[in-house]
Structures are given as structure tokens and as C-alpha cells.
Amino acid sequence: MKFLLQFFTWWSGQTLNTRFHTWRNGEKVGEDQFGNVYYRTIGGKIDPALGFERRWVIYNGQSEASMVPPGWYGWLHHTSNTPPTQESYTAKEWEMPHIPNMTGTPEAWRPQGSMLKSGVRPAATGDYQAWTPGS
């Protein structure tokens, strides 16, 4: 089943072509707490078309960009040349742990009065007046 998902879909992790490209041209740099694996071109070879090395991520499960922690995001986008696995970074006491985007999931934030929020919806206050043309 996993082979078929790799063959026919791109949102369930890596495709067959990405697996082959990574096997031929990729060098594993590290892995994050979500199980995503990060790669770069072998030896940090500079891509002549881009002028810098290629970097990419193979997601653990569904391909969701918000599953990339801030340190790895900076490395992927060439903001930092040192991958988080080679740094001894300690989070500040005020920093919160990384949380992926929950939009479209049951854990998504629902504002007060939303029809999707569980519980009793507050009664209408009557302060709304519908617009009618010509008034």
C-alpha cells in the first residue's frame, strides 16, 4: 500500500521520483522531532542553475509545510548555513514549543459564536440590520 501511495500521490510523503532523486543526489543532514528527514546535495555541491546548494525535506506522513520547526525552516531557506543538528541551541524560557497549523482539523481554533464550536451558541443580540438596496 505504501508503494502505491508513493507512486500515485505527492501529499503522502515522498513520491517514487523523489525517493530515486534523494538516493542518487541526496545527503542526509538530520531529522527533527516530527520524524521529517532533511537532505542536501551530496557534499554541498552548488547547483549551477541556482548558485547555491539544493536543500529539501522528506515529510513523515502527510506533506504539510507547517510541520517544519523554525530552526529547520531557516536552514531549508538558506537563512542559516548551519543545520540545527550541528548547533547547541537551547530555547529561551518564554519560547513556546512548535505547533503545526491546525486549520482544517478538529483541533483548529474556533472563535466564540462559531457554528463549529462545541457547546451552546450565544443568542443573537439583535444589533444586526440587513442591508436592502435603495435604503
- Residue 43 zone, left/alpha/beta (φ > 0; ψ -120 to 50; rest): left
pLDDT at 37 over 90: yes
pLDDT above 90 coverage of the chain, percent: 16
Q: pTM for this one? A: 0.67
- What pLDDT, on the 0 to 100 scale, is given for residue 7? 59
Residues 69-89 have a mean pLDDT of 87
78 Cβ neighbours under 8 A, 6+ residues apart: 52, 55
- What pLDDT, on the 0 to 100 scale, is given for residue 5? 62
* Backbone CA torsion sign across 105, 110, 116, 120: positive
Tell me the pLDDT tens digit for each residue of 43-77: 888 888 888 899 999 888 777 888 888 888 888 99
Identify the residue with better confidence: 1 or 67. Answer: 67
Residues 21-48 have a mean pLDDT of 88
Concatenated DSSP letters for 50-77?
TSSB-EEEE-SSS--GGGS-HHHHHHHT
Identify the residue with better confidence: 28 or 1. Answer: 28
